[in-house]
């Protein structure tokens, strides 16, 4: 009886120390995260200036996230992936250009699989990504396959990777070095540590004989953070053909990778409403969306080359179940646009109307940030992509 009592006391004591140990580890993980908004001096705002409408027809999803402003033969186009027809559609952004599309074969001699993302290499060639996530394809503008690039031949240090294309600029062609960059997310359980560890991109020189390598390594500080599946949707953009800027969805700061020096630095770029979002204390199956919707977060980044401004989208938390009893999703969070100048200083932020702007589809053109008005809860058209253009103005 005495032995049994001692055993119970020993178990209780060990459980106490184990709980205290995990508490200390948790505190250490959170040590540099701050939920409070950082101070800044507002100098710029955004004013709704105009709208652009593109007729797409019934065989096109107006909520496509794979849109890019691009130049082809010095003419501006909005390129959009049509996953329904496996077409890459180009909409002219000037009177000098004409709309056209490129169809891609699923299989056969010119097969590339299901189209997911693209990048312009030159006036005659494209870089294509598909659901076959261990390959990239170089094609012409007639959909003919010119070259296949294997992306699984060099292993990533630490955990394995998977090419993901839900960011604004999943494929990047660095013209200075004639190299391709593809985002490579960590392939592991979203409810465990390691999602934000190691390198984030695979760099592949366009020269056939040059070896690829993994680059843009995160600080080990991020290694053990757990936020769930919905917090894995980060965004990145090429800025000034020199910097690769990444927005981590829970982090107040942006990460800036210098392509030439291969160095990473941080700059404050948080919302006026909040700073960092804290990790998920009790990850559980099937509750990733609830945790995301009820947490503050960041997502998209866009670069306006005309005004040398960087834009970052921020989202305030909402209750997962609304007053009407319906569940909300990530399109129902309260959005705002953060304005950052060429020196990576925050110079403004504007709130966007609730359930009106579909911030996952956007581009910059003629010194304006264009955001989609095809919000699922207030969609003006299923046959047209509608954008409102925001122009920066001094306060």
pLDDT band at 10 (very low <50, low <70, confident <90, very high): low
Residue 75, domain member (yes or no): yes
Residue 239, domain member (yes or no): yes
- How far apart CA 332 and CA 348 sit, in angstroms, is 23
- How far apart CA 382 and CA 62 sit, in angstroms, is 6
Where is 366: in which H helix or E strand?
none
For the stretch 270-281, what's the b/e string if a residue is b when 16 or more beta carbons lie within 10 angstroms of its beta carbon? bbbebbbbbbbe
Length of the chain, in residues: 395
CATH of the domain at 118: 2.120.10
Backbone angles phi, psi at 49, to 5 degrees: -115, -40
β-sheet bridge partners, residue 181: 172, 203
β-sheet bridge partners, residue 101: 89
CB 124 within 8 A of CB 143: no
pTM score, two decimals? 0.90
- Helix, strand, or coil (residue 289): helix
Least confidently predicted of 57-61, 330-334, 349-353: 57-61
Report the relative pairing of strands 145-150 and 135-140 from DSSP bridges. Answer: antiparallel
Residue 333, domain member (yes or no): no
pLDDT of 15 strictly over 60 = no
What are 326-350's pLDDT values in tens digits? 999 999 999 999 999 999 999 999 9
What are 368-383's pLDDT values in tens digits? 999 999 999 999 999 9
Residue 154, domain member (yes or no): yes
pLDDT band at 18 (very low <50, low <70, confident <90, very high): very low
Question: What's residue 13's pLDDT?
Answer: 54
Question: What's residue 12's pLDDT?
Answer: 52
pLDDT of 28 strictly over 50 = no
Geometric angle at alpha carbon 265, from 305 and 171, rounded to 5°: 50
Which residue shows structure tokens 């998209």?
A: 300
What are 132-146's pLDDT values in tens digits? 999 999 999 999 999
β-sheet bridge partners, residue 162: 185
User: Quick one: what percent of the chain has pLDDT higher than 70?
Assistant: 92
pLDDT band at 252 (very low <50, low <70, confident <90, very high): very high
pLDDT of 207 strictly over 70 = yes
Question: What's residue 210's pLDDT?
Answer: 84
Residue 213, domain member (yes or no): yes
DSSP letter string, 220-237: GGGTT----SGGG--EEE
What are 285-298's pLDDT values in tens digits? 999 999 999 999 99
Which of the pair, 283 or 1, is modelled with greater confidence? 283
- How far apart CA 216 and CA 294 sit, in angstroms, is 30
Residue 318, domain member (yes or no): no
C-alpha gyration radius of the chain: 23
- Helix, strand, or coil (residue 363): strand
Which residue shows structure tokens 């200036």?
A: 49
Residue 118, domain member (yes or no): yes
**53 token code pair:** 């409408």
Question: What's residue 153's pLDDT?
Answer: 87
Q: Is the dihedral of CA 198, 204, 210, 216 positive or negative?
A: negative
Helix, strand, coil shares of the chain, percent, nearest 5, are 10, 40, 45
- How far apart CA 30 and CA 126 sit, in angstroms, is 43
Average pLDDT over the chain reads 91
Which residues form the domain of 206? 64-313
Question: What's residue 322's pLDDT?
Answer: 92
> Residue 369, Cα to own-chain centre: how many angstroms?
16
Q: How many domains does the chain have?
A: 1
pLDDT band at 157 (very low <50, low <70, confident <90, very high): confident
What are 178-189's pLDDT values in tens digits? 999 999 989 888
Q: Where are the beta strands (DSSP E) in 222-345?
A: 235-239, 243-247, 253-258, 263-268, 297-304, 309-316, 334-340
């Amino acid at each position: 009886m005495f032995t049994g009592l001692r055993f119970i006391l020993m178990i209780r004591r060990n459980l106490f120390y184990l709980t205290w140990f995990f508490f200390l580890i948790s505190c250490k993980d959170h040590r540099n995260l701050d939920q409070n908004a950082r101070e800044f001096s507002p100098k710029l705002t955004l004013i709704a200036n105009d709208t652009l409408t593109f007729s797409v027809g019934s065989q096109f999803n107006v909520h496509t996230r794979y849109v890019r402003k691009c130049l082809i033969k010095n003419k501006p186009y909005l390129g959009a992936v049509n996953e329904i027809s496996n077409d890459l559609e180009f909409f002219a952004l000037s009177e000098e250009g004409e709309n056209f599309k490129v169809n891609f074969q699923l299989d056969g001699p010119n097969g590339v699989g299901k189209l997911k993302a693209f990048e312009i290499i030159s006036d005659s060639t494209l870089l294509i990504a598909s659901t076959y996530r261990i390959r990239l394809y170089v094609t012409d503008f007639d959909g003919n396959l010119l070259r296949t690039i294997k992306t699984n031949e060099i292993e990533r240090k630490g955990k394995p990777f998977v090419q993901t294309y839900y960011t604004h600029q999943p494929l990047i062609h660095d013209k200075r070095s004639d190299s391709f960059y593809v985002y490579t997310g960590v392939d592991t359980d979203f409810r465990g540590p390691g999602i934000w560890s190691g390198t984030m991109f695979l760099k592949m020189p366009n020269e056939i004989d040059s070896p690829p390598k993994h680059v843009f390594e995160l600080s080990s500080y991020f290694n053990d953070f757990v936020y769930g599946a919905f917090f894995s949707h980060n965004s990145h953009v090429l800025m000034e053909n020199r910097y690769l800027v990444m927005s981590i969805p829970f982090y107040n700061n942006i990460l800036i990778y210098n392509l030439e020096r291969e160095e990473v630095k941080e700059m404050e770029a948080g919302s006026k409403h909040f700073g960092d979002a804290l990790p998920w204390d009790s990850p559980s199956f099937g509750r990733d969306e609830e945790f995301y919707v009820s947490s503050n977060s960041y997502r998209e980044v866009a670069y306006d080359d005309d005004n040398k401004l960087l834009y970052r989208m921020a989202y305030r938390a909402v209750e997962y179940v609304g007053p009407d009893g319906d569940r909300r999703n990530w399109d129902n969070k309260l959005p705002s646009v953060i304005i950052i100048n060429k020196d990576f200083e925050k110079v403004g932020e504007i709130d966007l109307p609730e359930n009106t702007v579909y911030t996952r589809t956007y581009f910059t053109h003629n010194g304006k940030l264009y955001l989609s008005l095809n919000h699922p809860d207030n969609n003006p058209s299923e046959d047209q992509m509608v954008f409102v253009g925001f122009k920066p103005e001094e306060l």
